[in-house]
Amino acid sequence: MDTTVLKCPGCGSSLPYNAEKGLWVCETCGAEFSQEEILKMTETKSDADIDINKSEYKEDTTPDPDQPELNLYRCQNCGAEMVTDENTSSTFCVYCGSTGILKSRLEGKFRPKYVIPFSKTKQQAIKAYNGLRRKRFLAPKEFGDRKNIEKITGVYIPFWLYDGFSDGYVDGERLVLAKTWREGDYKYTKTDVYHEHRAGHESFEKVPADGSEKFDDNLMDSIEPFKFDELVPFNYSYLSGFLAEKYDVSAEDDEGRATLRMNNSLKQSLCSTIDGTLTSSQEDIKCKIDNVDYVLLPVWTLNTFIKDKTYTFAMNGQTGKIVGDIPIDKLKSFLFFLGMIAVGFGIAAFFAWLFD
């Protein structure tokens, strides 16, 4: 199994990608390398020679049916052993911090076509996470555990991007209040019923669906949108300094999520041409997928363990949008409710006094 480590050609230290500068910056000597320089180096020289050192390591294949499938690699920088699961394609050495890129997991059908490089740094991710906490004072104390926050990790998550074309129609009845009148003790309302039919089609580009079982689909949906005009052709060097996953949900298996979204959008577009809302409707909308691209998208993730429950937070590594369901401390919540009762009582008493 191959691993590669991006190293500084000057001093041999790790050369991670710096999201803030958009450059590769040596952690030891501070040398900076642009995308062009990195690409030039990787084009002109073999991975093993200078920049991306390549070594062969034997995989520990001792089977254990009770354990998840883990693979053992040796860090070619310091010699320590690295353990990854079957879907990790870029990881860190826990001893020297070097990035180990498992090239074999990024080749062939697993080679992404595009990648969006990280634009948000770890410090920005921590700041965003702390921002979540500041506005939500009912969160438990553990939510702000500094040691845990430091574990926030940049991960390239595999996504499928679908280009598609939805076509179909919406049928339904629309009610229009015609007139009302009164006769004695009764009120009469006349309602007109109209049959509405709308047919049409619409195209969509790069509708994302994450291709990883490990990450919750709704969590990944929530960090959208990504700015896909910043997609660049994939290069291993972008993974330096970050974790990366390879897909374990195929494009065919994920297609349903994307087509459902496209069809819903077409339905909304069709319904927006109707003056009013349909009380009952039926539709027949079909979606044809024209193209699918496999890409890696940047996400900062953090798992927080509070009272035996794991809460996962994710931040879009490109736009900075942070999401996650924040736990609520029951005692704080109860005290807050009591406090609001006191405030409400005060307001009511003030107005009672004012209008007395």
Partner 1 sequence: MVKMKNIFSIILLLVVCLSGFAQNDKYSIGERTADNLHVKKFQVTESNIEYVLTTPYVDTSYKIYDYAELLTETQRYEIKQRCREFMKNTGLDIAIVTINENPKPSFNDYAPSDVYIQDFYDYNDFKEDGVMLIIDKFYDRNRYYDAGLAAEMTLLGDRVENYAEHMKPLYQAGDYYGEIMWFIDKTEAVYQYEISFPKWKCLIFALIFAWIVWWFHRKKYKLIFKATSANDYKKEGSFELTKSSTKYVRSFTTKTYSPPSKSSGGSGHGSSGGSHSGGGF
Interface positions, 103-142, toward partner 1 (CB under 8 A): 132, 135-136, 138-139
Q: Which CA distances in Å does 164 have to 102, 225, 232, 249, 289?
A: 32, 17, 21, 19, 4
Q: Which x/- pattern over 66-105 shows residues binding partner 1 (rule: CB under 8 A)?
A: ----------------------------------------
Which residue shows structure tokens 């307001």? 347
Instruction: Report if residue 203 touches partner 1, rule: CB under 8 A.
Output: yes
Candidates 28, 104, 191, 279; binder of partner 1 (CB under 8 A) is 191
| Minimum gap (Å) between residue 265 Cβ and partner 1 | 5
* Choice between 13 and 259, CB closer to partner 1: 259
Q: How many CB atoms lie within 10 A of CB 278?
A: 19
Q: Which class for 351: exposed (0-12), middle (13-18), buried (19 or more C-beta within 10 A)?
A: exposed
The region that residue 334 occupies, defined by phi over 0 for left and psi between -120 and 50 for alpha, beta otherwise, is alpha
| Minimum gap (Å) between residue 233 Cβ and partner 1 | 21
Structure tokens at 123: 């410090």
Sign of CA dihedral 285, 291, 294, 300: negative
Specify the long-range contacts of residues 45-49, CB closer than 8 Å, at least 24 apart: 47/4, 47/103
Q: Which stretch binds partner 1 (CB under 8 A): 53-61, 85-93, 116-124, 337-345?
A: 337-345
Q: Within positions 10 to 29, which residues make up the interface with partner 1, using CB under 8 A?
A: none
| Minimum gap (Å) between residue 130 Cβ and partner 1 | 15
* Choice between 189 and 282, CB closer to partner 1: 189
* Choice between 235 and 319, CB closer to partner 1: 319
| Minimum gap (Å) between residue 151 Cβ and partner 1 | 20
Q: Within positions 151 to 190, which residues make up the interface with partner 1, using CB under 8 A?
A: 169, 173-174, 178, 182, 185-190
Q: State the Cα–Cα distance between residues 331 and 259, nearest whole angstrom.
A: 44
Q: What is the dihedral of CA 233, 237, 238, 240, to 10 degrees?
A: 160
Q: Which stretch binds partner 1 (CB under 8 A): 38-46, 65-73, 75-83, 267-275?
A: 267-275
Structure tokens at 176: 């229009």
Q: Which stretch binds partner 1 (CB under 8 A): 46-54, 59-67, 192-200, 291-299?
A: 192-200
Instruction: Report if residue 328 touches partner 1, rule: CB under 8 A.
Output: yes
| Minimum gap (Å) between residue 165 Cβ and partner 1 | 8
Question: Residue 100: which of 238, 233, 243, 212 has the closest Cα?
Answer: 243
Candidates 48, 72, 249, 326; binder of partner 1 (CB under 8 A) is 326
Residues in the chain, total: 356
| Minimum gap (Å) between residue 124 Cβ and partner 1 | 18
Q: Which stretch binds partner 1 (CB under 8 A): 18-26, 75-83, 219-227, 297-305?
A: 219-227
Measured in degrees and rounded to the nearest 5, phi and psi for residue 135 equal -85, -5
| Minimum gap (Å) between residue 118 Cβ and partner 1 | 21
* Choice between 239 and 322, CB closer to partner 1: 322
* Choice between 95 and 351, CB closer to partner 1: 351
Give yes or no for a contact between 207 and 162, defined as CB atoms under 8 angstroms apart: yes
The footprint of partner 1 on this chain (CB under 8 A) covers a number of residues equal to 75
* Choice between 24 and 159, CB closer to partner 1: 159
From start to end of the chain, where are the E strands?
Answer: 2-6, 17-18, 23-25, 32-33, 52-56, 70-74, 81-85, 88-92, 99-101, 114-115, 153-183, 186-210, 232-233, 243-245, 278-306, 309-316, 322-323
Question: Residue 24: which of 34, 9, 14, 11 has the closest Cα?
Answer: 34
Instruction: Report if residue 279 touches partner 1, rule: CB under 8 A.
Output: no
